[in-house]
Structure 1
């Protein structure tokens, strides 16, 4: 049993957030035990070639056989919607002695794999390898397509929880996160029965630190840190996580025009081959200034890349822009 003890004002300081870093780390659970996450299987098949090019020896070792994760890998978000790159930079400042303690706790009932056991002889080097492996995994596997979909689900979940809290109160909110949660107005109790790997009992004093509640795609029930002395968090299964396997219909030319407007849709189609502002202006018979404004919007939306070539800047479709346009 885990108990979160609230004092006056603690409930008012309770907040929701999601964590791209946590989702990246927790997603590694799928590669260790795909059967637990059937809704992720279409993504696993799609991402498998890219994942095989990663530092898989280390990445899979970040998840213990119990599915526990070292606490330093999933720090409490400092704001509701953190940025992965900033979280990863902060992760890289973890004190070396923390790695041994947290890996030891995660692997308490299992032998550590050699890559971790040997890596802990030089914790700083191991931490560098961990952050490098996560950066590559995020860039190659998650950021292009998977994270935008997950981001939408998590945002929808937060909107729903806010509505429940406003309309039905804290008791209904906590019950909606996990039926094993019970709120009596002062203590939030999580009773974990029949778990294959029971969580250690804990009596967590919120004590003015605030409780941060975090949805995740990779939880079968509510849970918290292994170390109860850390700033308190409560993770829970995100609402609608099964919809991750739904594949949206391909965009049509007409749909793209409705989305972007005719001028920007035409520019995106013209950029099947890289071109400069001047070249596009000539082909469209408009001023370079007008084209530049559209290019700026498309670039800021992540649909274009740009690179300097001599005195001009050449634009091309990004991977997202290619997918949005579909087959040329």
Structure 2
């Protein structure tokens, strides 16, 4: 079902990008519960699986219904363009208990029987204790699962922001948003987002926060309920190569499977690239690279996305597994 965000003149002047370690923490917790989100993160899961298994994330998962509402107080829009986790979790700990109780009750109602669970009843009776408990869990998850890789994650997220900031200057907001995700459609000052929920909101001069996320793929999140600032969260560019290790990607097994030309093209896509860029990188004719890309895409190893006049190719989870030797 679609959600719609209606822009006024002032809203165009108040659109900004942000990066949020708190948001990545929520989404990595959610990803651990949802196999459909794990395709790009097989390497990470193998490396961090034992650590993740040692965490009790049950209470956080209880407030992540699928489908359903996740309480905004637990992971609000970022308080600044580059806030630290310590700043963000401090804001969560300072949440208003009554507002947190109402949002938590709304989230629990989306899971049949959840309101009758002992911990749920305790949370609604003592929301201040709930805030402390869930904030502690979120901080534990951050320290164990996100902090060790945060420099790498932040670099990729900041690269996404830099790229899309340039595109914003080139094509404007109405041109940029459909490029960011095929689920975004822009018409006459209204952004329509195709996802599970239904929401209608006039931004009313608050503008919009655009936030890339590593672990949200393939989903998007649109807006937050008032009084939270409207926010769009979308999959960051380049996650296909995020966990790749250095080495020869076009191994002999891959060459035997695909042929040397197609194996070289697949291996060269450590980050999204155009036909022209790949041809220059590999020293091949653009027509040759184009033919290889077509076959790799038909085989389900690549996806293609249009950015303005360019088409960028990116490896799918299957393509990642083949390019990394299936390890």
Asked if TM exceeds 0.5, the reply is yes
Structure 1 vs Structure 2 CA RMSD: 2.1
Q: Residue 127 of structure 1: CA displacement? A: 1.1
Structure 1: 5+ residue runs without aligned partners?
Answer: 193-197, 250-328
Q: Does 1:36 align with 2:31?
A: no
2:133 is matched with 129
Q: Provide the aligned length of Structure 1 versus Structure 2.
A: 242
Computing the radius of gyration from Cα coordinates, the structure with the larger value is: 1
For residues 5-51 of structure 1, the C-alpha deviation after alignment (integer angstroms, 9 at most, x for no partner) is 11112112111111110110111112211332211222122222222
Q: Does 1:179 align with 2:182?
A: yes
**Aligned partner (choices 210, 220, 233) of residue 235 of structure 1:** 233
1:6 is matched with 7
2:212 is matched with 215
Task: Give the match's secondary structure for 1:120.
Answer: helix
TM-score, scaled relative to structure 2: 0.68
1:205 is matched with 202
Task: Give the match's secondary structure for 1:15.
Answer: strand
Q: Following the alignment from structure 2 to structure 1, what is the Cα–Cα distance between the partners of residues 228 and 8?
A: 18
Cα contact 2:212–2:234 (8 A) shared by 1:
yes
**Aligned partner (choices 222, 225, 244) of residue 224 of structure 1:** 222
Q: Following the alignment from structure 2 to structure 1, what is the Cα–Cα distance between the partners of residues 11 and 66?
A: 35
TM-score, scaled relative to structure 1: 0.68
Q: Does 1:21 align with 2:22?
A: yes
Instruction: Please list, as runs of the form range in 1=range in 2, the aligned pairs for 1:160-199 lying within 5 A after superposition.
Output: 160-192=163-195, 198-199=196-197
Q: Aligned in 2, Cα 1:38/1:58: closer, same or farther, shift over 3 Å?
A: same
For residues 152-210 of structure 1, the C-alpha deviation after alignment (integer angstroms, 9 at most, x for no partner) is 11111101101111122222211112223222242222234xxxxx202x221111112
Cα contact 2:69–2:110 (8 A) shared by 1:
no
Instruction: Please list, as runs of the form range in 1=range in 2, the aligned pairs for 1:311-326 lying within 5 A after superposition.
Output: none
Task: Give the match's secondary structure for 2:9.
Answer: coil
Instruction: Please list, as runs of the form range in 1=range in 2, the aligned pairs for 1:1-328 lying within 5 A after superposition.
Output: 1-66=2-67, 68-111=69-112, 112=114, 114-144=118-148, 146-192=149-195, 198-200=196-198, 202-217=199-214, 218-225=216-223, 227=225, 230-248=228-246
Q: Following the alignment from structure 1 to structure 2, what is the Cα–Cα distance between the partners of residues 97 and 214?
A: 28
Give 4+ residue runs of structure 1 displaced > 6 Å after superposition: none
Structure 2: 5+ residue runs without aligned partners?
Answer: 248-327
1:279 is matched with none
Task: Give the match's secondary structure for 1:235.
Answer: strand
For residues 103-154 of structure 1, the C-alpha deviation after alignment (integer angstroms, 9 at most, x for no partner) is 233344313255334333221111111111122221122201x222211111
